[in-house]
Amino acid sequence: MTVTTRFAPSPTGLLHVGNLRTALHNWLFARSQGGRFLLRIDDTDRERSREEYVDAARADLAWMGIVPDGEARQSERFDRYEARFAELVSAGRVYPAYETPEELDLRRKVLLGRGLPPVYDRAALKLSDEQRAAYEAEGRTPHWRFKLAHDAPIIWDDRVRGFQKFDPAALSDPVIRRGDGSWLYLLPSVIDDIEMGITHVVRGEDHVSNTAAQIQMFEALGATPPVFAHAALLTGSEGKLSKRLGSLGVSHFREEGIEPQALVALLARLGTSDAVEPFADPAPLIQSFSFSRFGRAPARFDEGELAALNARIVHQLPFDAVADRLPEGVDATAWEAVRPNLAKVSEAQDWWQVIEGPITKPGLSDEDRDFLAMAVQAAEAIDWSGTPWQALTGALKAQTGRKGKPLFLPLRQALTGRDHGPEMAALLPLIGRARAVARLRAAAASA
């Protein structure tokens, strides 16, 4: 059996961080098992589905390095849904119901008011042919419900949540088709999972009750249900479910300068017993992926943690991986010089400005300006073909007796206009002799 997973977004909006995490889990598990990962576009909602969201979903997955092994669209499979739907109607597992949304809402409120669970009472099954004809004469078109079998509990061994048991009598028969003939999520998804050979359904815990109903749908269609894994949902950094998470997508992370490897590294390990580590290559994440490491507690998504992880990823990126995003003139040597001080690749622009100039003149004491006047002479005299920073500081230390911060800081301030930054041993050759001498001279002369 080839392990096969799928990610099935509805193209009614952009993917958010929770969707991206689900896609990643499916991809990582499939890759860890040498299996297949499929992208299925669940575009049965013709009114709200947009092609731009399909394109965006593909682009978002590609940005994260998630490459599907195949793709399907539900809008191209309506004939399959009709055929399997007809089978279920003939078998008595699907039935028409004529209640209006207002009538159903009133019934729910009555039950809740009595302290009872708002479970559908199957009133539609008690209708006579004459009553159905009367409703249709009124202009009512039925919606369709799947009839849950009540003879045994619904059980499955969830890869994350463990043993699960549902009493089908405590569940409403789910609506699978609207009065206008359009499909809801449940039945088409089951039909697709059967025909696409999906072996594992990996999704969020908000689908647990859907799974209970879908297991009976698989069985009613003569299929063995796949293995299910329901991961705990993400929470915000404040420790509670956050609507903000629903608005965080790839465009947000890209605007914030987040590398895809950082997002992948974080989302792969959130909610597991494994430490979040800055893997620039997903291979270790694939190798270590296991549902046994997932906990049932909500997983906390913290943008601060992501930003810190991003910096650690940036510090690993080779020049070739970022060359097209760097300012003109930055080569591999310059990238390696400034990289340790970057939290985002875009910050390389700031340090290239420091190298190229102009820079802000520092405010210095008279004593430091006198020291820098000597530094001008030393900079003009040293050999710049070797290690000019060591040569410069060595000469000044011997000449002035300065060492440590009093030696290094005024030089850094004069040469870069900043108190902190990349190693001067790497930075000074990039600044070069002419600019360095000019900056030292200007700082020594400044009032």
User: Hey, what domains does the chain have and what are their CATH numbers?
Assistant: 4-79+184-234 (3.40.50.620), 90-152+166-177 (3.90.800.10), 319-355 (no CATH), 357-445 (1.10.10.350)
CB neighbours of residue 304 within 10 Å = 8
Strand partners of residue 300: 235
- What tokens appear for 54 in the block? 């399909």
Q: What are the two backbone dihedrals, phi and then psi, of residue 239, each rounded to the nearest 5 degrees?
A: 90, 10
Q: How high is the pLDDT of residue 288?
A: 96
Strand partners, 363: none
Q: At what angle do helices 366-381 and 388-400 cross, to 10 degrees?
A: 130
Both tokens assigned to 244: 């903000």
Cα separation, 424 vs 35, in Å, equals 49
Cα separation, 288 vs 269, whole angstroms: 10
Tens of pLDDT along the chain (447 residues) come to: 899 999 999 999 999 999 999 999 999 999 999 999 999 999 998 889 999 999 999 999 999 999 999 999 999 999 999 999 999 999 999 999 999 999 999 999 999 999 999 999 999 999 999 999 999 999 999 999 999 999 999 999 999 999 999 999 999 999 999 999 999 999 999 999 999 999 999 999 999 999 999 999 999 999 999 999 999 999 987 766 667 788 899 999 999 999 999 999 999 999 999 999 999 999 999 999 999 999 999 989 999 999 999 999 999 999 999 999 999 999 999 999 999 999 999 999 999 999 999 999 888 999 999 999 999 999 999 999 999 999 999 999 999 999 999 999 999 999 999 999 999 999 999 999 999 999 999 999 975
In the numeric block, which tokens belong to residue 148? 């849950």
Residues 6+ apart with CB under 8 A from 243: none
Strand bridging mode 4-7 / 36-41: parallel
CA distance 355 to 186: 59
Per-residue pLDDT, 56: 97
Q: What is the pLDDT of residue 244?
A: 79
Q: How many other C-beta atoms are found inside a 10 Å radius of the C-beta of residue 14?
A: 17
- Quote the pLDDT of residue 240: 64
Was 344 annotated as part of a binding site? no
What is the spatial distance between Cα 187 and Cα 190, in angstroms, rounded to a whole number? 5
Phi, psi of 102, deg, nearest 5: -65, -40
Give residue 245's pLDDT.
82
Q: Which pLDDT does position 309 carry in this prediction?
A: 98
CA distance 210 to 75: 21
pLDDT at 241: 61
pLDDT at 237: 74
Predicted confidence at residue 350, as pLDDT, reads: 96
Output the six-digit token pair for 137: 């004469």
Task: Compute the distance between CA of residue 211 and CA of residue 222 in angstroms, rounded to an integer.
Answer: 16
Tell me how far apart the alpha carbons of residues 3 and 26 are, in angstroms, rounded to a whole number. 11
pLDDT at position 246 is 81
Helix (H, G, I), strand (E, B) or coil at 65: coil
Beta bridge partners of 203: 230
- Cα distance between residue 270 and residue 263, in whole Å: 11
Q: What is the pTM of this model?
A: 0.91
Q: Identify the burial level of 192 via C-beta atoms within 10 angstroms of its C-beta, where 0-12 means exposed, 13-18 middle and 19 or more buried.
A: buried
Instruction: Give the pLDDT confidence score for residue 239 in this predicted structure.
Output: 66
